[in-house]
Chains A and B, each alone.
Chain A
């Protein structure tokens, strides 16, 4: 898994597919608050696009696309987004994760709940992507890479 596969069709095919899968992942995340989808599914798609390149092109090229230095910090940043979305609601005088009290322009009630979950979904998406990629990276450690 740390070396590229021999077939150029697989290598270039996966490189071609990867950005489109990523785009679809972003679509699923950003439409998750009013249609089926959301952070978990979208994050998995984002991770899938990265893992496709990692498996086909080997770790050397995959490091250029997305370094394994960033996976864990990205997961942490995702959870921090989630956490601060909730904390701002507390500071605004509500309960934890009560989106109705997020200070977002002149929106109120249900509309704020509608948009507030989007922040959480973005955080979840980043975390799921970071964790899944770092799981893969940790599992291939120790395989001979030349």
Chain B
């Protein structure tokens, strides 16, 4: 019974956690944290179990309410969605465990509501990944978006304004996606992804299909912070509280990128070439511009969180670029980079949270040698993640870039290959700028009391180091992960 119901049980775990946290959290505020962690832990166990069920490339199709698709809503739990669900839930678990102290200092009195909204956010993300129905995806998209507006608004003084801007842009994005669904629904008469992909070849000449595809990619591109649509991202991530940015930054844009992948490679698949518009080349070019733009802007920032936010714009470009290559290497690179970037960005934002908790700021210009002496483990985690971002083997980040580079070579797209190489250099510039300050620059104050070890509390320290260690482990065992990803490659590729 349980195995066949897994696709629906994983998102529902978060829904029930949200309800339980709301009930108990309003009553006793401090119950919010343990209940949220417990719910996420349960979801991680379920998604781990589910991942082993479908990791051989099999697929579970779940008819919600007993209505057979395409009439009813269908949940599709295949290797790809199981993998993404496992990744986002694990990263969320790490970020939530980390939030115990942050919650007390950054949003006291609101913890009950905060964790309830965080659970709703995860409910939305899990639903987006698992659902096999385009409109259902829109509903989950809006659930996760509304929760993320609320989470971003809990932060420093400018946070509500950043969240409001995100709300304006994000809602327009969601609405454009909905309009795109309408276009496709008019010509195919179905909303089920698998059913629609079977019907598309017959109507591919219809201009409404092209319009629908453009509107959908545009709408989801806003959520994924695809290059010219990324305007909301830097402010939102910078001003949000440490936990919100550690929760949303690694997961939010990745899930949107996953939806782009589903639309482009599963829904349209090999129809993309017949559509009369070089969609893949345009998306690929935008991704390449985003990679360069994000890296250059990251170099100009003096605020660590803002630098990481711009680096997110650049990194999401890698994932989208891998999708736009539409060959097996690009696919492997994109999926592997979703995992790697979730871990890397998670680690980096957790480090930023640690520094904010101890120092009260994350201004790079104020970093010096004393940070290394005060927080040796936190800084070791930062260094690991930074090296991985640059793409130094055996860290995880190297391998996804490797597969992306192989993908560009297979397509003979030398321009994109150059972009990957240049961007790695730019990554090196802005991360070594921080590392140089932490390891080389002698501290301004020479007093010995200042440089004693002041590492953060265990709940924060352990999560940060485990996330960093995971980067090395993923890097070392990348061959077996790639072997699993090879089961996910859609048939037409």
Contact = CB atoms under 8 A, between A and B. Distances in A.
Interface of A: 72-73, 76, 79-80, 83, 86-87, 89-91, 93-101
Nearest to B72: A95
B5 A95 contact: yes
Contacts of B243: none
Most A Cβ at <10 Å: residue of B1, B22, B66: B66
Contacts of B63: 95
Contacts of B8: 90, 95-96
Given A72-B26, A93-B1, A95-B5, A83 B16 contact: yes
Nearest to B21: A76
Contacts of B22: 72-73, 76
Contacts of A91: 1
A33 B414 CA distance: 60
B19 A76 contact: yes
Contact of B65 (A87, A93, A99): A99
A96 B19 contact: no
A94 B23 contact: no
B62 interface: yes
A96 B64 contact: yes
A53 to B, nearest CB: 24
A95 B66 contact: yes
Interface residues of B, number: 15
A83 B26 CA distance: 20
B15 interface: yes
Q: Which 4 A-B pairs have the closest CB atoms?
A: A98-B66, A97-B65, A96-B8, A95-B66
B1 A97 contact: no
B16 A90 contact: no
A95 B26 contact: no
A137 to B, nearest CB: 13
B5 A90 contact: yes
A100 B72 CA distance: 15
Interface of B: 1, 5, 8, 12, 15-16, 19, 22-23, 26, 62-66
Contacts of B62: 95-96
Contacts of A97: 64-66
Contacts of A90: 1, 5, 8
B1 to A, nearest CB: 7
Contacts of A89: 66
A96 B5 contact: yes
A80 B12 CA distance: 11
B23 A83 contact: no
Contacts of B12: 83, 86-87, 96
21 contacts: A72-B22, A76-B22, A76-B23, A79-B15, A79-B19, A80-B19, A87-B12, A90-B1, A94-B66, A95-B8, A95-B64, A95-B65, A95-B66, A96-B8, A96-B64, A97-B65, A97-B66, A98-B65, A99-B65, A100-B66, A101-B66
Contacts of A76: 19, 22-23
A101 B66 CA distance: 10
B77 to A, nearest CB: 13
Most B Cβ at <10 Å: residue of A76, A93, A94, A99: A76
Contacts of A93: 1
A106 to B, nearest CB: 20
Given A76-B22, A79-B15, 7 more contacts: A89-B66, A94-B66, A95-B66, A96-B12, A96-B64, A97-B65, A98-B65
Given A79-B15, A79-B19, A83-B12, A96 B1 contact: no
A43 B92 CA distance: 34
Contacts of A87: 12
A2 to B, nearest CB: 22
A95 B63 CA distance: 7
A73 B1 CA distance: 31
B78 to A, nearest CB: 18
A98 B62 CA distance: 12
A91 B8 CA distance: 13
Contacts of A86: 12
A72 B63 CA distance: 31
A66 to B, nearest CB: 17
Contacts of A94: 66
A75 to B, nearest CB: 8
A100 B8 CA distance: 18
A144 B15 CA distance: 36
Nearest to A84: B16
Nearest to B26: A72
A29 to B, nearest CB: 20
A125 to B, nearest CB: 17
Contacts of B15: 79, 83
Contacts of A83: 12, 15-16, 19
Nearest to A97: B65
Contacts of A100: 66
Contacts of A72: 22, 26
A121 B243 CA distance: 36
A122 B343 CA distance: 42
Contacts of B19: 76, 79-80, 83
A90 B16 CA distance: 15
B65 A96 contact: yes
Contacts of B65: 95-99
A141 B481 CA distance: 52
Nearest to B113: A72
Contacts of B64: 95-97
Contact of B23 (A73, A96, A98, A101): A73
Nearest to B15: A83
Nearest to A95: B66
Contacts of A101: 66
Contacts of B16: 83
B71 to A, nearest CB: 13
